[in-house]
Structure 1
């Protein structure tokens, strides 16, 4: 159940009949109670604030803080899509950290708004972002229904990965600033994440090398060049 506090703040979760807090909705608009006055570098609370109101403000601040990661991620994705040659300068003018924004935008791009669950943190969604979209909803639902923490969700996904999913390998690459800037510019022109762009380029080169070496791309096995040139039977 939800209720509106007397100070006109946001809707606040109240205990449901089952005893479990009700989930937030995607249409819920966030704001602070009037008992809290915000400034650029401070938060002023009304004198004589009771414990319940103070705790409610804390809950509202927590939601706003978590939601802001989604807002920033979606904001960067919009700029990258609509202003591919100018959005980087706009980001620099905001004094926001570009790499942090890229991380937010990566998660926002991987997890569609329709799949995002207000009852879970941004970090929960970051855990499922690398998974195929067909699996994301299942894991998020499990986490929400079972009250899993981000760490518990990560553990469960890894346990399943050892049984069903391919193991991801971490590859470190040392490059100079000039090369990195050039690659990022190329990825930005295509409106893509640098990692995704690099992976596609490497896959294309790998397929070319395998073809020249006598292997049919995508088969995972070596095939004599003469056979690779033959048309399919039938």
Structure 2
């Protein structure tokens, strides 16, 4: 047994990764980085959580049933990837803090890792109840390999986010123990293979009758063709 960040003894269990988004549509830029995080951090699983409505984005262009189907098809061949529909079922604005509270109820003894890219983390101080996130999860920030975690580009961080990061920075030399032995509370920067793919670009390509081959799994492309989406 180990002691959690809130001084409560817990049985050591492999962490669970949490990755949310509109997935409008899902693509390899969502999938490859999370596979690498799953391997490097020894995550038991990564839960892909489609938003009902992102507070910071326009409403998705397609029905939620089809977004769910695309995510399910995209992750079906990776057993560590799991589709989690709780934000769709909850409805309304999809606030991360509400999702983390729900997950903590489901997994009271598991470390939770909120996975996000550098751009998302740079704007985290605009999120609803953002300072409470570390009460429920660790934050894992993926970035391109050329950016050293100890010399990140501070120009993309506001002073508020920089202070937040410095106050809760994980021990980079012992990250698996830092994450595995506490339920929540640290921020870790992790280099991953980042692909310059965006859902906006994919939608524009479809609208302009351009190919989207090799940007996403073939199963997702087939669904887009079948339902004639984004045209």
Settle same-fold status: TM greater than 0.5. Answer: no
Q: Which has the higher strand share?
A: 2
TM class, shorter-length: under 0.3
TM-score of the superposed pair, with normalisation by structure 1: 0.21
**Relative contact order (C-alpha < 8 Å, sep 6+): which is higher?**
2
Q: Which has the higher helix share?
A: 1
> Over alpha carbons, which structure has the higher Rg?
1
